[in-house]
Structure 1
């Protein structure tokens, strides 16, 4: 959902600067670190909360898999599993492509929420009266980022998280792509000894060596030379040399052209 100008007026200059700063941190992912952990570290204090949790669900059938959190015991999460079908936001979690950032108290009344076993056995024990949450789809299911506290969340806080949500979705897609790329690179390097490629894709992409393809894809994703070097365990100088050769092979002159070509592969 696009945030309307009317809702943006709820934010101060300081709020917008904060969103920009957190958005930048969101994209500094490490493919060797689980995305749940990365999200937890970056967004833990984005808005005031008593408990912050990044949860993982599988779909078809719906099941709660794991959570990165502080202050909630494994026994309590077992209680949550038993009653999660009563969660007022579960329909929003299961339709993340169309759902906004949502809160319990804008979805149901406090009285209705208090009547559920989920509240009596789980949230009441934790002293939680409201949650602000949103979901991120991924190939294995959904991740749900959940802020919980004793008081209701404001429209301003919802706007802040609505601005951060698409940044997190982009970071997740790039994180997944880099992990796939690293796995593909290892497979190519294990199987490419003595093998000569004979088929070319349009644009000459396959004329690049496996290492050059890895450098090219990471550069196309927007990573700087230093980050590419860290991912591939080579020096930034070697990355620069690879890019010079890549530009020559592909007959292009800059990273913008490289990104455009990569998106067509």
Structure 2
């Protein structure tokens, strides 16, 4: 019977030190996967080190700067040396930059691009070589990638990630590798914790469900896309945003912060 269980599968999750990434890593391990969680710190963050996966799952930690090609090569080599194939990749690592259009510098754009777009490309290039038919890649976008959201560097990077995801779905499809994108809205994470009160209030006003989302709600969609239940789903873009992007409400959020 097809299920959400991932026993015997190896999945890499980037940006797994906190927030959405940590929730994704924990849930995938609880579903039985061997999860290789990565982030910038040398040692596993407390939220990962204390996890106790059930169903035979395993949670391992490796340091990785997703913008560093040599780091990806090293991770791929480490996985290969253990005789594992990669069954899933979650490109979750991301940073934000809140400069507005006329204030953004080229350095702002490049910094965000290096992590949010190039980091995902490098991961796909390095780990797809270890994937076989049935493998699944999930890129974590944003509601900003579906709208004209005001932080221009961040928004541009998430739109670019959409293009990368679609090309990857097309190029890797003949090998049986699926590529999909989830677009979280306002999720309670360390990244959004620093948002201005005006931003929070205006965003929730634009969200039909009238509340922020949880990291577990994003992780559940990621689990579905990595599982056999989504075996004929590729090139899809799934908003996990309480309906925010469905009516294009980014303008009022932008106006409220002027």
Give the TM-score normalised by structure 1.
Answer: 0.32
Name whichever structure is richer in helix by fraction. 1
Give the TM-score normalised by structure 2.
Answer: 0.33
From the CA coordinates, give the structure whose radius of gyration is larger.
Answer: 1
Q: Relative contact order: is structure 1 or structure 2 higher (C-alpha 8 Å, sep ≥ 6)?
A: 2
